[in-house]
Amino acid sequence: MNLLLKGVTIADPNSPFHEKNCDVRVVQGKIASIQGKLSPQKGEEVIDGNGAVLSPGFFDLNCLTGDPGFEAKEDLDSVAAAAQAGGFTGLTLMPQTKPVVHSKAQVAYLVNKAAGYLVDIHPIGAISQDLEGKELAELYDMKLAGAVAFSDGAKPVVDDGFMSRALQYSKGVNGLLMVHPENKSIAGKSQINESKISVLLGMKGVPALAEEMQISRDIFLATYHDAPIHISTISTAGSVSLIRKAKKDGIKISCDVAAHQLVFTEELLNDFDSNYKVKPPLRDKADIKALLAGLKDGTIDAVSSQHRPHEPEHKQVEFEIAAYGIIALQTVLPLLFKAGLTVNQIVEKLSINPRRLLGLSIPVIAEGELANFTLFNPSQTWVYDQAQNYSLSSNTPLLGETLTGKVQMVYNNNQFQVYG
C-alpha cells in the first residue's frame, strides 16, 4: 500500500532533508517524493505525523530469541513483533539457543525462517563449538550462510590462546568478533556490582576490574593481530577509558552499551527484585555518567537492547537463582530519552552505527531510496502494560509504567505497521 506521511521532522544526517519538516510519499516500498507539502493521492493511506520524528529504522546489535529450542521464551514471530513495536526494522540474534548456532545449518535455518518479516533478522554465529571456548566453530561457512558476526553470547572467551586464534581466523574471513567483557576468575559466581550496596545486601560483588581486565586483554590481542573486535554491553567508567584510549591509538575496536545501563543503578536492587538482575550487573551513578560521556564523544559506538526473554519460573524466584536479563526491545527508546540523549544521538547510536559496524546497508531518507524508517514522538507518553507487550515473556521492571517516547509506525520490506 502507498503512504503519505504528513508533517514529519526528518532526522537523518545522511539525508538532504535532515532536520526539515516535510511530507513524505512512499510508493511500492520506495520513497517517491519528499516536499514541504504534498497532496494526498487516490488510494494512498495518509499518516498525520504532526511533528513526529522520521528516522532510519532502528537496528539492534544484541538480541536473544528462544528459537531454536526455547520457543516458550520467545519465537521469531514474537521477537519480530516486539522489535517493530520498539521501532526496530533490523536486529541480530545471539547464538546461545538449543542447539547453539555454531554451524551453517543453524544459520541457514534462521535466515530462511526469518524471510518475509518486516524486521530484517540477521544471525550471529558462535565463536566456539557449543560455546565451550575450546574449538572454533565454522566461522567461514556461517558467514557464507548469512552470519553477520560471531559471538559466544554472555559467555566470555576465557582461554587467551583460543581468543588469539579466533581473532586471527575471523580477520582472515573478514569477520567481526563480538565478545562479552568478563574475567571469570575475578567475577566468580558473584551476581551484583561490588560496592557498598553489595556489602549492605550481604552479597558478594563483581568488581569493575573483572570487566576491565578482560577488555584490556582483548585490546592487546586485537592490537597484536591488527584485527577488529567489538566489546558488547560495557558497563563501567574504566571500560570507557580503556576503549577511548584504544581508539586514539588506532586500534580497531568498537563497543556498545545496553540502554538499561544508562538509567538503572544498583540502588534498585535493595528489594532484591530479580527483574533488575542483568549481566553485566547494574553499576553506580558515576559509571552511568561515564557511559553517557562515552556515547557523546564517540567512544561508545552504539546502544543495544540486550533483550533476554525468560519464563516466569526463571525470574519470579529468589534473586540468587534467577536468570539474568530483561525483555527490552520495546523500552529502548523511552530509556534513551530518560537518559537525556537527543534525537540526533539516538539516530546515530540506534540506526546508523549498528549497521555500519556490521557492514550492512544504511537506510537513507531520500527520494528514490528503499523505505526503511521509524516514526516516533519524543514527547508522547504511553503505558507499557501486558496489552502493549508483544513479547512472549514479561521479565521487565518497566511493565505497568508510564513511559515517554512512543513509536508510531515502522516501514520496511514494503510492509508497515502503525501503533496508536
pLDDT of residue 236: 98
Which CATH number is 35's domain given?
A: 2.30.40.10
Average pLDDT over residues 385-413: 98
Domain boundary among 323, 358, 393: 358
Positive/negative CA dihedral, 178, 182, 188, 191 = negative
pLDDT of residue 258: 98
Question: Do 354 and 371 sit in the same domain of this protein?
Answer: no
Give pTM, 2 decimals. Answer: 0.97
Question: Do 378 and 391 sit in the same domain of this protein?
Answer: yes
Average pLDDT over residues 390-394: 98
Question: Do 371 and 392 sit in the same domain of this protein?
Answer: yes
pLDDT of residue 143: 98
pLDDT of residue 57: 98
pLDDT of residue 77: 98
Positive/negative CA dihedral, 359, 363, 364, 369 = positive
Which CATH number is 204's domain given?
A: 3.20.20.140
pLDDT tens-digit readout, 157-194: 999 999 999 999 999 999 999 999 999 999 999 999 99
Which parts of 251-301 are beta strand (E)?
253-258
* Residue 80 grid coordinates: 519480530
Question: Do 187 and 79 sit in the same domain of this protein?
Answer: yes
Question: Do 389 and 336 sit in the same domain of this protein?
Answer: no
pLDDT of residue 1: 76
> Scanning the structure block, which residue is given the C-alpha cell 529504522?
57
Average pLDDT, the chain: 97
Domain boundary among 310, 336, 358: 358
Question: Do 334 and 378 sit in the same domain of this protein?
Answer: no
Average pLDDT over residues 296-320: 97
Q: How many residues belong to the chain?
A: 420
pLDDT of residue 413: 98
Q: Where are the alpha helices (DSSP H) in 268-387?
A: 285-297, 312-315, 332-339, 343-347, 353-358
Average pLDDT over residues 15-27: 98
Question: Do 138 and 183 sit in the same domain of this protein?
Answer: yes
Helix (H, G, I), strand (E, B) or coil at 268: helix
Domain boundary among 358, 375, 408: 358
Average pLDDT over residues 377-403: 97
Average pLDDT over residues 359-376: 98
Buried/exposed 330-360: b ≥16 CB within 10 Å, e otherwise: bbbbbbbbebebebebbbbbbbbbbbebbee
Confidence of residue 255 (pLDDT cuts 50, 70, 90): very high
pLDDT tens-digit readout, 119-162: 999 999 999 999 999 999 999 999 999 999 999 999 999 999 99
Q: How many domains is the chain partitioned into structurally?
A: 2
Q: How far is CA 235 from the centre of its chain?
A: 14
Question: Do 147 and 239 sit in the same domain of this protein?
Answer: yes
Domain that holds residue 387: 3-54+366-418
Query: How far is residue 387's CA from residue 396's CA, in Å, rounded to a whole number?
Result: 14
Question: Do 33 and 62 sit in the same domain of this protein?
Answer: no
Question: Do 81 and 198 sit in the same domain of this protein?
Answer: yes
Question: Do 46 and 60 sit in the same domain of this protein?
Answer: no
Is 420's pLDDT higher than 90? no
Percent of the chain with pLDDT over 90: 99
pLDDT tens-digit readout, 30-58: 999 999 999 999 989 999 999 899 999 99
Query: How far is residue 118's CA from residue 173's CA, in Å, rounded to a whole number?
Result: 29
Question: Do 191 and 330 sit in the same domain of this protein?
Answer: yes
